Structure 1
């Protein structure tokens, strides 16, 4: 498998495999038999697939549309939308005017571990990082501006946290803020993903049909995850052309993977 130095997980648990495949074809019914065949590719047993189908249906994450056929449920949550609609990620940002979105955390005690984790995960999901204790920031280049609070609340932001815009930080604090995301690590990840996708596309015709299916799904999932979780920093902080190259390569790769998986699932 072409990983270009990136270790990929080729064994997926049944719920992840099912939701990944159904989300890839949101307008179409996928048969249980097709999902069982997909399970074989990833080492998932028939029982594992059937149990997961029952649980996912009960949780309304998928829907049983007809006997033996399933579709992805129409969910509107922020995370689900971001995962399914990753292609136009960059339309969510605008040129940076050097100001900062700042979130002053509520008084969440360390003892309230679950609430604290959800609060911090929500902020990280939209690219915020902790600059000072309970004070999280990100460049104010999100198109939603202060409206991003609505998304953050859906994700678990503490209701008493306060969102604001700071036009300027003192020099030392500004320098510290710009380093929070370790831009060099992001750029290394972008380049690594581009190389992995290029290598995989070059090698797909050398693989068996089954290995090609596993390759496209595992590589694709890994890169899409990086796109969804990317903080979308402005060009002043990171090489946006390299990020854009990663996204464009993933679009091409996704088209290839869709074609292979469509043939497998619906033939």
Structure 2
């Protein structure tokens, strides 16, 4: 699930978040009310809150009724699911970096509209833009589709249509040096290493855990890892060790597959 949505933002799930994710995992793509209530109960979420979430998801056309008491993703939910699953192919959307930068200029946009400002800041974080000078945000131009793709994604994430997005190159030496230091490569490497250790340790113990505990742990740790991926700026060499990032991402894919099977087994036990 891409995560510009709130669906990936909280490590303790709401009924809405958990239901949407389960509908991407369950056999046949259908989830009944009893299974939804049972799954949510693992996280201390009440049956009443679960039923309210189902009703609201249906009202928002994110889910639809299959038969009485059973649901599948609606059209909007399927689109969200495709967006959320896009993290698995993120590495294929990178290209070799030629040293140029994508720039978003916000100096003329103002800061009085707090809602617009929050949307802008969130979008910039998801796209990996950092502030070089006042109102001048940049990222390496290493994404397939270049400036046009980045502009389109920013607009889809709620950034104002009047935002100037363009390519820049040949910064003066001082700015170029500062640009290369906007991202903490050592901190990124640390998160990759720590993330790998956490997931490897979890995978080693999941098979020996009660199914309820395994389902809960695989959800929480898998969600944390996925959010780490979603907010990764996808930097090129030499700004970061891309091989280390790919290794972490491949492990997250394997962990996600293991977690999906655990949840299928958990839900099957309740039938």
TM-score by length of 1: 0.90
The alpha carbon displacement at 1:207 in A equals 1.5
Tell me the distance in 1 between the aligned counterparts of 2:172 and 2:43: 52
Tell me the distance in 1 between the aligned counterparts of 2:73 and 2:97: 37
- Does 2:38 correspond to 1:37? yes
Tell me the distance in 1 between the aligned counterparts of 2:79 and 2:34: 31
Counterpart for residue 69 of structure 1: 70
Counterpart for residue 175 of structure 1: 177
2:188 aligns to what SS in structure 1? helix
Contact 1:23–1:84, Cα closer than 8 Å, also in 2: no
Change (3 A) 1:63 1:84: farther
Counterpart for residue 202 of structure 2: 200
Tell me the distance in 2 between the aligned counterparts of 1:21 and 1:126: 27
Change (3 A) 1:74 1:195: farther
The alpha carbon displacement at 1:73 in A equals 2.9
1:156 aligns to what SS in structure 2? coil
Aligned positions, number: 259
- Does 2:235 correspond to 1:217? no
Contact 1:93–1:141, Cα closer than 8 Å, also in 2: yes
The alpha carbon displacement at 1:26 in A equals 9.1
Change (3 A) 1:137 1:79: farther
TM-score by length of 2: 0.89
The alpha carbon displacement at 1:36 in A equals 0.9
Q: Unaligned regions of 5+ residues in structure 1, if any?
A: 1-8
CA-based RMSD: 2.1
- Does 2:41 correspond to 1:46? no
Q: Unaligned regions of 5+ residues in structure 2, if any?
A: 1-9
1:102 aligns to what SS in structure 2? strand
Counterpart for residue 94 of structure 2: 93
The alpha carbon displacement at 1:161 in A equals 1.0
